[in-house]
C-alpha cells in the first residue's frame, strides 16, 4: 500500500520535520508541498538538510493544490486550517498540526484563540489512557480527520495521565515545561534572536496565560474521569529543540517511588514510544532528539507527599510531526511505528 501525501506549510519547522520522517516511510510517496509567503521558492532554500527534496518548488497553499492526495498534513498557523480542511473531501485523511480542532469546548476556543470555532476532531494522542480502561488509539483508526496535540500537552499529558487515571493523585496538577526555541516556529521575533536567547532562560505565559492550558485541562480531565485543575508554566531555554517537563501533584495515599514506578511501567508496557526509565535514571532532552520517544521517570517527594514526574520529548518529533505521522499510520491501518525512529541522535 502506497499513499500520496501533501504537506501544507512545508517551509516551517514542523513541515520540515514531517518531510524528514516521510522520506523514510516505506508506504509514502511525497506529493505537493505548499507554503504561504515562501511559495515559488525551492524547498532546499528553507530546509537544506532535506537533500532528496531540495529542488522541489513550493506551491501556494490552496485547496486545488492539495486535492488528489490520500493524506494532507496541515502544518499551518492556528486559525488557518479549518477553512482549508473544509474544502477537502471526506475521502482525504486530513491531519491538522495546528490548534483549530483540538478543543472540545467552544467557550475555551473563544477565550484562548478567538475567531470562529471549527469543532473538535479525534484527538491524536494514541497513548492517552481513558476512564473505561482503553486508550485513545482506538478513536484514531479508520478516521479521516485528526487533530494533533500541542507539543507541551503531548509530554505533559503522558507524564501525569497514569497517576490521574489510577487515582494516585489529587486532581490538582502543577506543570513546568522547559522548551527550545523551535517551538515558536520560524517567524522572525525579536525575543527569539540568538543574542536574546543564548545564555538566558526565561519564563513566559505565566499565571495560566499559555494557550495550551485548556488542552492540558481537557486531556487530564478525560484521563481522570473528573475535572482536573492544571497550573502550567512554560520556560524558554537556549537550545533549538526538546521539552523537559516537571509535573507534580499531591498523592491521595502513602506510596513509595517503587510502587508508583510499577504503575507507570504497567501503563506503558506495550507502548512503542513511551519509556519509563529504571530507578536512578533521569530524562534528558538530548536523549530524545530526532526520535518519537517520550522518556519518563517518577518519584515521590516524601516530605510533601507529592508525586513528581519528569518527561522529555523532542518537540518537533513526538511533540508535532512524529505524532502526526503516528496518527496517519493508525488512521490508514499501517504499522503504527512506520517511518518513526525510536533512536535519538547523539551527541
User: Which residues are catalytically annotated?
Assistant: 151
What order do you get walking across the sheet with 59-60 strand by strand? Answer: 59-60, 28-35, 3-8, 71-74, 93-96, 145-147
Cα separation, 177 vs 263, in Å, equals 23
DSSP 31-90: EEEEESTTTTSBGGGT-TT-GGGTTPBPEE--HHHHTT-SEEEE---TTSHHHHHTTS-T
Distance between CA atoms of residues 169 and 260, nearest Å: 11
Q: Which residues of 123-161 are buried (b: 16+ CB within 10 A; e: fewer)?
A: bbbbbbbbeeeebbbebbeebbbbbbbbbbbbbbbbbbb
Q: Write out the three cell numbers for 202.
A: 526565561
Sign, CA torsion 215/218/222/227: positive
> Phi and psi (nearest 5°) for 221?
-65, -35
Which spans in the chain are helix H? 13-22, 63-66, 81-85, 106-112, 151-165, 194-197, 213-224, 257-267, 322-332
How far apart are alpha carbons 181 and 119 in whole angstroms?
Answer: 30
* Strands 294-301, 306-313: pairing kind: antiparallel
Amino acid at each position: 500500500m502506497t499513499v500520496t501525501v501533501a504537506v501544507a506549510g512545508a517551509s516551517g519547522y514542523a513541515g520540515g520535520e514531517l518531510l524528514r520522517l516521510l522520506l523514510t516511510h516505506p508506504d509514502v510517496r511525497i506529493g505537493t508541498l505548499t507554503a504561504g509567503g515562501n511559495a515559488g521558492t525551492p524547498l532546499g532554500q528553507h530546509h537544506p538538510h532535506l537533500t532528496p527534496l531540495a529542488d522541489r518548488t513550493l506551491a501556494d497553499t490552496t485547496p486545488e493544490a492539495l486535492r488528489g492526495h490520500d493524506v494532507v498534513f496541515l502544518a499551518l498557523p492556528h486559525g488557518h486550517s479549518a477553512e482549508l480542511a473544509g474544502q477537502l473531501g471526506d475521502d482525504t485523511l486530513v491531519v491538522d498540526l495546528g490548534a483549530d480542532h483540538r478543543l472540545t469546548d467552544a467557550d475555551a476556543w473563544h477565550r484562548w484563540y478567538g475567531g470562529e470555532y471549527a469543532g473538535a476532531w479525534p484527538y491524536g494522542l494514541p497513548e492517552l489512557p481513558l476512564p473505561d480502561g482503553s486508550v485513545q488509539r482506538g478513536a484514531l483508526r479508520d478516521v479521516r480527520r485528526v487533530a494533533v496535540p500541542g507539543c507541551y500537552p503531548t509530554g505533559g499529558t503522558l507524564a501525569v495521565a497514569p497517576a490521574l487515571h489510577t487515582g494516585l493523585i489529587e486532581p490538582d496538577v502543577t506543570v513546568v515545561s522547559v522548551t527550545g526555541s523551535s517551538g515558536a516556529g520560524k517567524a522572525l521575533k525579536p525575543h527569539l534572536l540568538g543574542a536574546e536567547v543564548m545564555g538566558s532562560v526565561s519564563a513566559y505565559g505565566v499565571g495560566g496565560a499559555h494557550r495550551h492550558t485548556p488542552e492540558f485541562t481537557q486531556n487530564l480531565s478525560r484521563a481522570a474521569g473528573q475535572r482536573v485543575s492544571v497550573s502550567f508554566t512554560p520556560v524558554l531555554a537556549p537550545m533549538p529543540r526538546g521539552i523537559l517537563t516537571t509535573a507534580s501533584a499531591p498523592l491521595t495515599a502513602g506510596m513509595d517511588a517503587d510502587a508508583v514506578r510499577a504503575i507507570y511501567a504497567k501503563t506503558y508496557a506495550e507502548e512503542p514510544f513511551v519509556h519509563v526509565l529504571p530507578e536512578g535514571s533521569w530524562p534528558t532532552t538530548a536523549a530524545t532528539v530526532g526520535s518519537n520517544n517520550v522518556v519518563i521517570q517518577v518519584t515521590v517527594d516524601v516530605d510533601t507527599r507529592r508525586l513528581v514526574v519528569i518527561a522529555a520529548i523532542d518537540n518537533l518529533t513526538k511533540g508535532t510531526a512524529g505524532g502526526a505521522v503516528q496518527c496517519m499510520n493508525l488512521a490508514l491501518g499501517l504499522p503504527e511505528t512506520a517511518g518513526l525512529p525510536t533512536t535519538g541522535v547523539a551527541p
